[in-house]
């Protein structure tokens, strides 16, 4: 069975167009039936559409005989940690404000597999049981309890550290700055005033320009930026230069002394070179943090992540967590500038292009040409082409030892995608 609604990271779309309250209600009912009609923790991010979709989801849960446990605005990793028989987040993660979506976690706080999502889709038209409906409860102080856990398990003494914290006007607003201050850091908080319409808008992990300017102007030691639902984190060093997920995972791998790590096909070739030099085994998965999580558990590893900022440390956690990753990164510096810590990893120039398409597919001719180029480069670079799991685009990545060569390769393959799908 092919999934119709679920993508790389749950279900998401433009509210009122590709994502409706009616669909969300059906998902709530189907997921509750699938999970055994138990207790379902519900959290949401700060989008204006959140309350309406939370209400729709709650109707579905109750109709299926489950108990909707409402946690209010919560970062996605908090829902994973606190999940009961099921955890559900109303969020579109890093997407613009007009989007929203639904993410699901099982009782262990794990993202669902493709097969489990297929099983839920098969139940979307199930009317639910004929017996008594379920109920609704409100979970008090969920966010405070979550932050306490993260600070206690992942924090360290940050006295004297000057940190700019970009909350993306999302679920970490108010929470993340307070966590850093609790550990002794001097904090400048930005994008910390959500109004329902400004989540991820010119801020956060998808747009680091404001954070870079803040760090440079304020003499900060580093800056960290989350996405709207808090499962991603990127950083900028003391000069305002971007430190992406590959570099963050590299810094943590060396600082935490791991012997294996899980990354995705997008990870920079320089990461692989550094890990080989340090004797760290690297496992590579498809793009998507849930595939990283599956591999971590399969291999018995603890550290993994994606270039986009999903950083996962499974000691005392169940999923990727932006705040936990930010605190671990600060603790890994050991008094060094972030630029110095990140410089241990060589970086191959990468050039990316998103080609907007009507059909999210990659033609065989494109895959064959990308493979031919990669073989020809013989380890000096590569070309990767894949359909997005969340947007109507085909993503093209070219990597080479020189920036000009990477740009030429990316442009060549992007043109071929347009020709084939135009």
Tokens standing for residue 195: 């109004």
Tokens standing for residue 151: 């600070």
Query: Which helix H or strand E contains 31, and what residues bound it?
Result: helix 21-35
d(CA 32, CA 239): 49
Q: Sort residue 134 into left (φ over 0), alpha (ψ -120 to 50) or beta.
A: beta
d(CA 27, CA 60): 7
**Which 3-state string (H, E, C) describes 272-324?**
HHHHHHCCCEEEEECCCHHHHHHHHHHHCCCEEECCCCCEEECCCCCCCCHHH
d(CA 76, CA 316): 16
Answer yes or no: 93 catalytic: yes
CA trace torsion 105, 110, 114, 115 (10° rounding): -90
Which residue in the block uniquely carries the two structure tokens 């990468």?
350
Taking a C-beta distance cutoff of 8 angstroms, is the pair 9, 103 a contact? yes
246 CB neighbour count, 10 Å cutoff = 27
280 CB neighbour count, 10 Å cutoff = 19
Chain-centroid distance of CA 363 in Å reads 27
Q: Could you say which of 93, 156, 159, 173 is catalytic? A: 93
Positions annotated as catalytic residues are 93
């Amino acid at each position: 069975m092919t999934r119709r609604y679920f993508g790389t990271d749950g279900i998401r779309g433009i509210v009122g167009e590709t994502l409706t309250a009616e669909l969300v209600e059906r998902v709530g009912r189907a997921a509750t039936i699938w999970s055994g009609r138990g207790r379902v923790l519900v959290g949401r991010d700060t989008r204006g559409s959140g309350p309406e979709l939370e209400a729709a989801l709650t109707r579905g849960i109750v109709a299926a005989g489950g108990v909707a446990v409402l946690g209010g605005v919560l970062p996605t990793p908090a829902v994973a940690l606190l999940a009961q028989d099921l955890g559900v987040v109303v969020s579109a993660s890093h997407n613009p404000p007009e989007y929203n979506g639904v993410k699901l976690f099982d009782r262990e706080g794990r993202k669902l597999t493709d097969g489990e999502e297929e099983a839920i889709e098969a139940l979307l038209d199930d009317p639910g049981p004929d017996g008594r409906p379920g109920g609704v409860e409100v979970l008090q102080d969920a966010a405070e309890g979550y932050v306490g856990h993260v600070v206690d398990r992942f924090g360290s003494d940050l006295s004297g550290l000057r940190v700019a914290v970009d909350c993306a006007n999302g679920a970490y607003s108010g929470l993340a700055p307070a966590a850093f201050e609790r550990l002794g850091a001097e904090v400048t908080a930005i994008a910390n005033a959500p109004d329902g319409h400004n989540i991820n808008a010119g801020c956060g992990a998808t747009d680091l320009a404001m954070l870079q300017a803040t760090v440079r102007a304020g003499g900060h030691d580093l800056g960290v930026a989350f996405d709207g639902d808090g499962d991603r984190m990127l950083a900028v060093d003391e000069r305002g230069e971007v430190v992406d997920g590959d570099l963050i995972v590299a810094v943590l791998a060396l600082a935490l002394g791991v012997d294996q790590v899980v990354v995705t096909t997008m990870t920079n070739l320089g990461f692989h070179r550094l890990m080989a030099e340090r004797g760290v085994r690297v496992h590579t998965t498809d793009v998507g943090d849930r595939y990283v999580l599956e591999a971590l558990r399969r291999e018995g590893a603890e550290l993994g992540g994606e270039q986009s900022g999903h950083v996962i440390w499974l000691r005392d956690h169940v999923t990727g967590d932006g705040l936990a990753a930010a605190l671990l990164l600060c603790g890994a510096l050991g008094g060094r500038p972030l630029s110095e810590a990140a410089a241990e990893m060589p970086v191959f120039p990468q050039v990316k292009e998103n080609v907007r398409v009507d059909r999210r597919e990659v033609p065989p001719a494109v895959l064959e040409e990308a493979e031919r180029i990669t073989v020809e480069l013989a380890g000096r670079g590569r070309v990767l082409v894949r359909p997005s799991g969340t947007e109507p685009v085909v993503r093209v990545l070219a990597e080479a030892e020189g920036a000009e060569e990477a740009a030429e390769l990316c442009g060549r393959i992007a043109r071929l995608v347009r020709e084939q799908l135009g």
